[in-house]
């Protein structure tokens, strides 16, 4: 069982405690721990605390875009290389033995299982009744498919396009992904591992801010139909009552402001007061009823109905726009294999001089886009000058090193040094280099894309079962262009073709 851990974070101090807890107990270590720094305006390096020594070499910090947990999780899993991706929130504490329990949960899954849900435990105070916020957090114990602890197969994430980034909050994006997985014929199982979710401090108006989720519920209905709540086991909530209370209060205030009849105004304001009072009492009664809690409940109960109504209206207004621009569902390739001469750098025949290396226009941006999307890279290059005795292998290595100085790390380099008549199996258009690169990266050839500038690159891809994209140069023959399945005008356009507009997001 191979797995990676993805943790999106807004910079909470609890991240350090999570990493310490993750290192405790027995069980297989993850291949990597991808921490996505999703702070909109980082003031400095992300604080990781003092992670256990066993995890330090596994932790990678990648910059997010500050667009919410759905986008951050996509950034994370696309950098994963393992078969399974375990998502954890940055404010949870996996119990000792969590890694071993995760391995058991995954090993017990059926073939059609796309994911495994961990069990969330929210500790509540034993000496008093829980506050409204504590009860709200405790609802995670009953939530289905909560990504506070959720593991998915990476190939399922790739096939589904990952999390829908039209959900900007930590709300409903996990249910949306699970419903799409179920619609595709997969199953989601409940595991036995346990993750503790402490109740974190929250501002006094947190319950008002949470009403923004009403806009996400509008999108859920549009995407999954009116029965989505039953399928997701999501309570209906109080939206209808909030709308009625808000309308009554607004209408009563309008009649009063225009000095209209006093009886209608009093009746409407009375209905508003009754609705607000009923909401407040339902939140106060099960709680500790301290003066501070009662004051907070009274104040926020007056604000919640109009806030919920406003967000619902905003969701209705945004619905058509969001549906017109769905996220890309194109599965990302596991790896992109790049030709060197004529694709990444200007083609200088039999070049052994690093000073003559010059990247093609847009090459830097193109490979940066592939890295940002979490796609593995490799370079596959015919260098027959070695076999012809024109340059040495050290010359080739020096040129390759210069290419990486200019373009950044490009993954493993696989070079065929043979002359055309040597009868090797690695020289393109034969599939040897493609197959070797896929093996080195731990992926199947079918999940790779080869980008090159001549027909031999495309033929090698086809022979190995990979996909090919041709970026013609002046040296590319017309018949090679005609035979290529996909043709792009530049390396940058080829990458956009593979990942989709905006880098695959």
Same domain, 296 and 376: no
Same domain, 142 and 264: no
Burial of 493 (0-12, 13-18, 19+ CB in 10 A): middle
The answer to the question of residue 495 being in a domain is: yes
**pLDDT value at residue 500:** 65
How big, in percent rounded to 5, are the helix, strand and coil portions of the chain? 45, 15, 40
Sheet holding 448-452, edge to edge: 413-416, 376-382, 335-338, 448-452, 467-470
Same domain, 154 and 168: yes
SS3 224: helix
Same domain, 404 and 436: yes
The answer to the question of residue 504 being in a domain is: no
SS3 191: strand
**pLDDT value at residue 24:** 87
| CATH number of 55's domain | 3.90.550.10
Check: CB of residue 86 under 8 Å from CB of residue 115: no
**pLDDT value at residue 223:** 94
**pLDDT value at residue 498:** 85
Cα distance between residue 382 and residue 405, in whole Å? 21
Same domain, 322 and 353: no
The answer to the question of residue 505 being in a domain is: no
**pLDDT value at residue 503:** 45
Same domain, 19 and 129: yes
Listed as own residue / partner, the contacts of 471-478 with beta carbons closer than 8 Å and 24 or more positions apart are 471/343, 473/342, 473/347, 475/342, 475/347
| Structural domain that includes position 255 | 203-326
Same domain, 207 and 195: no
Same domain, 7 and 146: yes
Look at the chain and report how many structural domains it folds into. 3
The answer to the question of residue 94 being in a domain is: yes
The answer to the question of residue 471 being in a domain is: yes
Same domain, 148 and 222: no
The answer to the question of residue 144 being in a domain is: yes
This model's pTM is above 0.75? no
Cα distance between residue 224 and residue 164, in whole Å? 13
Same domain, 321 and 462: no
Cα distance between residue 458 and residue 485, in whole Å? 8
The answer to the question of residue 423 being in a domain is: yes
- Other CB atoms within a 10 A radius of the CB of residue 376 amount to 23
Closest CA to 392 of 357, 353, 343: 353
Single out the residue in 180, 202, 224 at which a domain terminates.
Answer: 202
**pLDDT value at residue 328:** 56
Tens of pLDDT along the chain (505 residues) come to 789 999 999 999 999 999 999 998 899 999 999 999 999 888 888 999 999 999 999 999 988 878 899 999 988 887 787 889 999 999 999 999 999 999 999 999 998 999 999 999 999 999 999 999 999 999 999 999 999 999 999 888 878 888 999 999 999 999 999 999 999 999 999 999 999 999 999 999 999 999 999 999 999 999 999 999 999 999 989 999 999 999 999 999 998 888 777 888 899 999 999 999 999 999 999 999 999 999 999 999 999 999 999 999 999 999 988 887 776 555 678 899 999 999 999 999 999 999 999 999 999 999 998 988 889 999 999 999 999 999 999 999 999 999 999 999 999 999 999 999 898 999 999 999 999 999 999 888 988 999 999 999 999 999 999 999 999 999 899 999 888 888 888 998 899 888 864 444 3
Single out the residue in 202, 223, 238 at which a domain terminates.
Answer: 202
The answer to the question of residue 439 being in a domain is: yes
Single out the residue in 202, 231, 264 at which a domain terminates.
Answer: 202
> Residues with catalytic annotation?
339, 341
Same domain, 233 and 375: no
**Which residues, in sequence order, are CB contacts of 230 under 8 Å at separation 6+?**
none
Q: How far is CA 410 from the centre of its chain?
A: 23
DSSP 204: T
First-residue to last-residue Cα distance in the chain = 28
Same domain, 112 and 32: yes
């Amino acid at each position: 069982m191979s797995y990676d851990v993805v943790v999106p974070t807004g910079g909470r101090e609890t991240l350090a405690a999570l990493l310490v807890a993750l290192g405790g107990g027995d069980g297989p270590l993850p291949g990597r721990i991808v921490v996505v720094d999703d702070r909109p305006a980082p003031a400095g390096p992300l604080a990781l605390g003092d992670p256990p020594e066993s995890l330090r070499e596994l932790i990678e910090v990648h910059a997010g875009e500050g667009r919410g947990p759905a986008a951050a999780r996509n950034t994370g899993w696309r950098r994963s290389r393992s078969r399974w991706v375990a998502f954890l929130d940055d404010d949870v504490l996996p119990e000792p033995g969590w890694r071993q329990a995760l391995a058991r949960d995954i090993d017990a899954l059926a073939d059609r299982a796309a994911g495994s849900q961990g069990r969330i435990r929210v500790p509540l105070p034993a000496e008093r009744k829980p506050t409204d916020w504590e009860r709200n957090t405790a609802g995670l114990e009953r939530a289905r498919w909560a990504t506070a602890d959720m593991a998915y197969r990476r190939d399922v994430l790739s096939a589904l396009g990952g999390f829908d980034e039209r959900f900007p909050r930590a709300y409903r994006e996990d249910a949306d992904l699970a419903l799409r997985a179920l619609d595709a014929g997969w199953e989601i199982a409940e595991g036995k591992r346990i993750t503790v979710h402490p109740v974190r401090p929250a501002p006094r108006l947190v319950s008002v801010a949470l009403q923004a989720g009403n806009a996400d519920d509008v999108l859920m209905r549009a995407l999954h139909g009116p029965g989505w709540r039953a399928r997701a086991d999501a309570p209906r909530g109080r939206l209808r009552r909030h709308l009625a209370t808000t309308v009554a209060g607004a209408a009563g205030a309008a009649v009063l402001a225009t000095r209209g009849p006093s009886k209608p105004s009093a009746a409407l304001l009375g209905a508003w007061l009754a609705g607000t009072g009923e909401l407040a009492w339902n939140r106060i009664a099960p709680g500790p009823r301290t003066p501070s809690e009662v004051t907070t409940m009274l104040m926020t109960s007056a604000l919640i109905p109009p806030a919920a109504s406003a967000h619902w209206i905003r969701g209705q207004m945004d619905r058509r726009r969001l549906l017109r621009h769905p996220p890309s569902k194109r599965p990302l390739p596991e790896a992109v294999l790049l030709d060197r001469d004529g694709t990444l750098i200007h083609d200088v025949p039999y070049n052994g001089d690093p000073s003559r290396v010059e990247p093609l226009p847009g090459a830097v941006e193109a490979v940066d886009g592939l890295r940002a999307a979490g796609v593995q890279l490799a370079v596959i290059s015919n260098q027959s000058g070695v076999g012809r005795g024109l340059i040495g292998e050290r010359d080739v290595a020096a040129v390759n090193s210069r290419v990486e100085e200019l373009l950044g790390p490009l993954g493993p380099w696989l070079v065929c040094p043979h002359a055309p008549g040597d009868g090797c199996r690695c020289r393109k258009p034969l599939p040897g280099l493609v197959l070797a690169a896929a093996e080195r990266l731990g992926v199947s050839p079918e999940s790779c894309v080869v980008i090159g500038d001549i027909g031999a690159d495309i033929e090698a891809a086809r022979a190995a079962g990979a996909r090919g994209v041709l970026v013609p140069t002046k040296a590319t023959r017309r018949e090679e262009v005609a035979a290529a399945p996909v043709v792009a005008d530049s390396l940058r356009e080829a990458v956009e073709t593979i990942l989709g507009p905006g880098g695959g997001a």
